[in-house]
Each structure stands twice: as C-alpha cells, then as structure tokens.
Amino acid sequence: MDIDIIKYTEAGKFEDTRLEKIHNVIFDDSEKASIIIAHEIANLIKVKALQNKKCVLGLATGSSPVDVYEELVRLHKEESLSFKNVITFNLDEYYPMKPENTQSYWHFMHEHLFNHIDILPENINIPSGTIKSDEIHQYCIDYDMKIKEVGGIDFQLLGIGRTGHIGFNEPGSHHNSGTRNITLDHITRVDASSAFLGIEKVPRVAITMGISTIRKAKRIVLLAWGINKAGVVKKAIEGNITSEIPSSYLQNHDNITFVLDEGAAQELTRIKTPWLVKPCEWTDPLTLKASVWLSELKQKSILKLTDSDYNNNGMSNLLIEHGSAYDLNIKMFNNLQHTITGWPGGKPKADDTNRPERKNPSKKRIIIFSPHPDDDVISMGGTFDRLVEQGHEVHIAYQTSGNIAVSDTEAMKFAEVAQVLNGGSVEAQKIIDDIQNKKEFDMDSLEVRTLKSLIRRKESVAATRYLGVPDARVHFLNLPFYETGKIKKGKLGKEDISIMNDLISTIKPHQIYAAGDLADPHGTHKVCLNALFISLKELKKEKYMNDCWVWLYRGAWHEWEIHEIEMAVPMSPDQVKKKRQAIFYHQSQKDGVLFQGDDSREFWMRAEDRNKETAKKYNDLGLADYAALEAFRRYHF
Ligand code: F6R
C-alpha cells in the first residue's frame, strides 16, 4: 500500500482553515490513515529504542484504533518491530468489569494487540474494573503518578465519542480532571449497547484517565471515522472550548492532529460550505451543493434566489461565472429536475439524454444487494416494486444471514412450534434447551443460529413474493465474514469475494443496487459494500461489465444529501403503503428490535419519514410535491 506521508503532514494547512483550531488531516480511506499512524508510532518506538529509552504510549479502545493495532501487529510479525521498550497506559475501563469478560477493555487490548506482540506484561497498564469501590480514589491517584514516574506519555492515541468524550471524560468533565471514576452518558451507553446486547447490560460507570492526564501527553493523535462523528468533530475543531464538548479542550494542545476520514470531516466548514472560508473552484457538483444550501438557508425555492442572496453568502465569484442568479437558478433547477424519474430501470423508447438511467436494454437484469435480509425493502422498497412492475429481471441478493439480530424469544417461539408439530422433535428440543441454558454473553449454538437465519430467510421470501419476485431470483449469500456468531465480525476474505463474483458473473447485470452506507465504517453495511467494490474491481475486465451501472442507496439510518442524489424515484401514497407492508413481513425486526440504536422508531417509520422528508426537501426547492422519494447515487467503478 502506498503511504502518503506528505499528505499526512501537509494536508491540514491552516491557511485553508481559518475557523479550525485543531490541526487535522482528512483521508479518503481510514485504513490507509491507520497505517500511517501505526508507522508514526513504530518510528517513535524505534527512535526511543536507539536512545535506550522507554517509549510510553497512551492507548484507546473502540472501533477507531483497530486498524492501527492490526498494522502494529503486522510490523512486529513481519518487520521485527519490538515492543520491549514500550510501556502502555490505557485510557479507560468499564466499572465494574472483570478482565476475562469479552466486553472488557482488558480483553479488547489483548485480543487486538498485546497477545500478538513482545511487550512485557508488567509494562501494560489498564485501569482495573475490579478494584474495591472505596479504593478507587487512591487507585486513580496512583495511576496518574505512575504515568508521571515513567516520564509522561510520549504518544497518546484517542478516539472520540458522539458526546465529544475523550477517554470516558463525558460532558461536564473539568479541564483539570485527573484519572477518576465517572458516570457514562446515555448516548455513550447507547453506542455500546450492541456490544453488550442491550443497553440495560451496559455498565453505568467507568474509570477514565482525566482530561489533564491526557493533555500532558507530548503528542496526541485523535482518530474519527464515519459520518456519525461528523457533528462532534466540527464542534471540537471549530467550536468554543467548553466542558460540554470535552474534546474541545484539546484546542490548547500544541502537538495534536485529528486524523479524519471524509465522513467524519463532512461537517467542517471548509468541506461543507467551503465558499464561506476560501475562494472556490466551482465544479458542477459544488455549484449544486451551494445553491441547495443557499435555498435552504434563505427558505426560498431555487428559482427565487437573487443576486444579493449569492453575493451576501460568499458566492459572488460564482455569480460572475454564471452571469446572473436567474441563469444559475434555472441551470440548478434543471439539474435537480433531471434526477427525478418514475423509471429507475430506464424509460423504454424515451429520449434518455437527461434521464438518470439508459433506456436500453428496455428489460434489464438487475441485482439488488441487501446487506441484511430487509435493507432491500426498507431502503428501496418503492423502487424495487417499480423495477419488478416495469418488467425487469430483478434478483435480490441478501449478503448476510442477519441471524444475530433475532431475539431468543423469537427463536424460542419457532422452536416450540416445531417441537409440537414434529411430535417432540429432538432437534427442536435441543434448540429450546440451548436457548434456556444460555448464559449472559454466551454465543448461540450452531443450531440456534441456523434457526435464527431461517427465520430471517423466510421473512425475506414472504416480502419478495409479495413484491412479485420468483423464489429462484432470491439469493442468500451467507457471506462467511458475518458468520462468527458474535457481534464482532470477521474480516472479508477470498471466499466472500468469490461468492459475490459468482453471482454477478452468472447474472451479468445491467444494474446493481447496493447499500452505500458510510455511517458506521466498521459495520456490516460498510463491509458488504467493500465486498462489492472488490468484486467490481476484479470483474471490471469482463465485457458484460461495460453495460453495468451501479446505484447506491442508503440504509435505515441516513439519507443522501440533496445535492448528492443522482436518481430520485417518487412514490405515490399507495406505493408508500405497499412498501410499508413489505417491511412488515420482517416480523423479527419489529417491536423492540435488538439493534435499535438511539432512534426508537421502528424501521418502517424511519423509512417512511425519511422518504417523505426527501420529497419535502425537493418540494421546498421548488420541485413537484410528491408523497415520498427514494434516493440513489451512482457509483463509477
Ligand atoms: C476508548 C475510549 C473512547 C472511544 C470513543 C470512540 O478507550 O476511551 O473515548 O475512543 O468512545 O469509540 P469508537 O472508536 O468505538 O467509535
């Protein structure tokens, strides 16, 4: 992999970023960024070793640093990087928490790093989750003292929580705080709830290094990946220093870098509204983005924006390029208008110059990839319905079994029915026993997982039949990376890609739809998308791929921004109801679903609200008033 160190050190220049108070660099790929950071750490370890000195590292857990640790392990195994001179201090641990518990940060650190390198066990420091409560105070003072005694932290790695926390310094933390116990914020507990299989099981308290402890580190690198972090990253970098956003205290550190991917950086002013902070090169996409933004800001439709609206909001040079607001507005209005189509597979015999899809071939072969068995109908149920109705050969490919999201109660119901029907079936009884004897945090037995997969399969088939797809066109790929039986999934491997390649090369599709979710860069949707991207790369040379267009939809949590949408498919009120019905077939995902997040609405409600919201935004911009719109963006490979 080519490592662009220059990009790392130079990309975050301050001339471009006058609102920004923390040095930051943005990468298009979090894996690449992680490798660069791992190399910075490795260099430091080597320099210290040459000087016969210890290298003191402050370490974080969570999803953000996983790839950094993976590269450090690789450097140890393949390039003989030694950790013999390294002393580590971890930021935090849940309280109470036994180290052997798989949710503990002790377990995380050993699984991802310590078990695979030559660090001396006595040099590892992780706050203890088993200390007696009346000893915590002294324990924390000693933790800080120990850091001081070894000469302070040379390099501190941080993640950032959606509350703005660093370590577990939640809102309200004092800038002078030392290591201590702290009550976790509700949002932090929601974010941890999938790892603990339910928010009620997430500890309420943790021990964390303090803000002051962290800020004394000689060098700090904070990692933030994905659009879920974008809002808080902006506040930390551009906002005022406030205890409400504890990471904003880092503005006072003189050797800090925030390392971001494009998702996490997307709310920064220089990215979101660059015309407010610097002269812009006005490409077509940026012009559309600016017009949509201005229209929302002024609460006017696009065609009503005036010269002074543009001039007063940093876009005078855009006006100069286009002559007048009138010409510019018409151009942008037409751009948006051309994204709308009731013919997502292309309109036969029509002029397609300004349509999102080609008219030919008039009957297309289509694959809808759905990461879990329900994203197809949740995210594009209306479009799915139209594609089938308009006579295309629509195949659905469920990439994972989704078995982890079926509750034990749901599985028990089916096992008991099977037991009664089969007159005391031994297999069904085993499943019942396995569920009854399962201890907290135990993995499901293979039989229970199989039943849970089957439940989701049959729900999916009910929905696809309802939308008129023959069973032979419904494919359950069961990608192996997902089948760990645990929340934590494996890595994408050759087998996953060859399953994807087999399907694509058999169907030779003219259109592929896939979930383009970037909200959770380590989540299943992103892995499924990566699997598709790798397949497309491998199959690109095949002749039939020249005719294949790829459209990305967004999953249950986010929608494309209006300026990003390249195809918007309207739904009538009846189609909205039909889509709702299709989602209803996924009964195991209704009423108190396991991985709800902090949005208490059921999936059909989220989907409906989101599609109505998109329609409203189009209407506010001055376009036609539809009941709902599903949105897609084209991916060019
Ligand atoms: C972990 C820690 C936390 C995380 C933060 C982000 O040791 O101290 O501050 O860094 O909650 O977590 P992820 O990386 O999982 O998004």
Of 270, 301, 326, the residue at which a domain comes to its end is 270
Percent of the chain exceeding pLDDT 90 equals 85
Q: Is residue 430 part of a domain?
A: no
Q: What is the pLDDT of residues 233-263, one digit of tens each?
A: 999 999 999 999 999 999 999 999 999 999 9
Task: Single out the catalytic residue among 70, 71, 170, 357.
Answer: 170
**247 and 305 co-located in one domain:** no
What's the predicted TM-score (pTM) here? 0.90
pLDDT, residue 15, reads 46
Please check the confidence at residue 7 and state whether its pLDDT lies above 50: no
Residues lining ligand 1, judged by CB closer than 6 Å?
Answer: 60-64, 91-92, 159-161, 165-168
Most ligand 1 atoms within 8 A of CB, residue of 160, 188, 260 to mutate: 160
Please check the confidence at residue 6 and state whether its pLDDT lies above 50: no
Atom of ligand 1 lying closest to residue 208 CA: 8
Q: Domain holding 121: CATH number?
A: 3.40.50.1360
**225 and 251 co-located in one domain:** yes
pLDDT, residue 442, reads 80
Three-state SS for 518? coil
| 69-83, 472-486, 546-560 — most confident range | 69-83
Q: Which residues span the domain enclosing 287?
A: 282-337
**291 and 384 co-located in one domain:** no
Q: What is the pLDDT of residues 142-173, one digit of tens each?
A: 999 999 999 999 999 999 999 999 999 999 99
Please check the confidence at residue 497 and state whether its pLDDT lies above 70: yes
**112 and 255 co-located in one domain:** yes
Atom of ligand 1 lying closest to residue 229 CA: 16
**239 and 378 co-located in one domain:** no
Instruction: Return mean pLDDT, the chain.
Output: 93
Of 217, 247, 270, the residue at which a domain comes to its end is 270
Alpha-carbon span 109 to 375, nearest angstrom? 33
Q: What is the pLDDT of residues 45-73, one digit of tens each?
A: 999 999 999 999 999 999 999 999 999 99
Atom of ligand 1 lying closest to residue 228 CA: 16
**260 and 289 co-located in one domain:** no
Alpha-carbon span 273 to 314, nearest angstrom? 9
**257 and 306 co-located in one domain:** no
Q: Is residue 410 part of a domain?
A: no
**134 and 261 co-located in one domain:** yes
Q: What is the pLDDT of residues 259-289, one digit of tens each?
A: 999 999 999 999 999 999 988 999 999 999 9
Q: Is residue 459 part of a domain?
A: yes
CA of 392 to the centre of ligand 1 (A): 45
CA of 285 to the centre of ligand 1 (A): 34
pLDDT, residue 278, reads 87
Q: What is the pLDDT of residues 403-455, one digit of tens each?
A: 998 999 999 999 999 999 988 889 999 999 999 999 877 889 999 999 999 99
Alpha-carbon span 401 to 219, nearest angstrom? 43
**249 and 287 co-located in one domain:** no
Alpha-carbon span 617 to 622, nearest angstrom? 9
- Token digits of residue 426: 């031994």
Please check the confidence at residue 5 and state whether its pLDDT lies above 50: no
Select the more confidently predicted residue: 57 or 522. 57
Closest by alpha carbon to 337, among 549, 571, 553, 567?
567
pLDDT tier at 2, thresholds 50, 70, 90: very low
Please check the confidence at residue 204 and state whether its pLDDT lies above 90: yes
Q: Is residue 357 part of a domain?
A: no
Local structure of residue 451 (DSSP, 8 states)? H
Q: Is residue 245 part of a domain?
A: yes
**161 and 248 co-located in one domain:** yes
Q: What is the pLDDT of residues 557-595, one digit of tens each?
A: 789 999 999 999 999 999 999 999 999 999 999 865 555
Mean pLDDT, residues 329-346: 98
pLDDT, residue 518, reads 67
Please check the confidence at residue 517 and state whether its pLDDT lies above 90: no
Burial class (CB in 10 A: 0-12, 13-18, 19+), 470: exposed
Mean pLDDT, residues 41-48: 98
**263 and 312 co-located in one domain:** no
pLDDT tier at 11, thresholds 50, 70, 90: very low
Of 317, 337, 357, the residue at which a domain comes to its end is 337
Most ligand 1 atoms within 8 A of CB, residue of 168, 194, 258, 261 to mutate: 168
In sequence order, what are the residues at sequence separation of 6 or more whose Cβ sits closer than 8 angstroms to the Cβ of residue 262? 26, 27, 28, 271
Q: What is the dihedral of CA 18, 168, 104, 207, to 10 degrees?
A: 150
Q: Is residue 122 part of a domain?
A: yes
Please check the confidence at residue 315 and state whether its pLDDT lies above 50: yes
pLDDT, residue 597, reads 64
Domain count, the chain: 3
**295 and 249 co-located in one domain:** no
**Residue with CA closest to ligand 1 atom 3:** 167
Tell me how crowded residue 118 is: count the other CB atoms within 10 A of its CB.
Answer: 12
Q: Quick check: is 170 catalytic? A: yes
Atom of ligand 1 lying closest to residue 165 CA: 9
Percent of the chain exceeding pLDDT 70 equals 95
Mean pLDDT, residues 207-214: 98
pLDDT, residue 4, reads 43
- Token digits of residue 189: 């507990």
Cβ pair 87, 127 in contact under 8 A: no
Q: Is residue 343 part of a domain?
A: no
Q: Is residue 161 part of a domain?
A: yes
Cβ pair 403, 452 in contact under 8 A: yes
Most ligand 1 atoms within 8 A of CB, residue of 34, 57, 61 to mutate: 61
pLDDT, residue 485, reads 79
Least confident of 67-76, 278-287, 378-387, 540-549: 278-287
Q: Domain holding 543: CATH number?
A: 3.40.50.10320
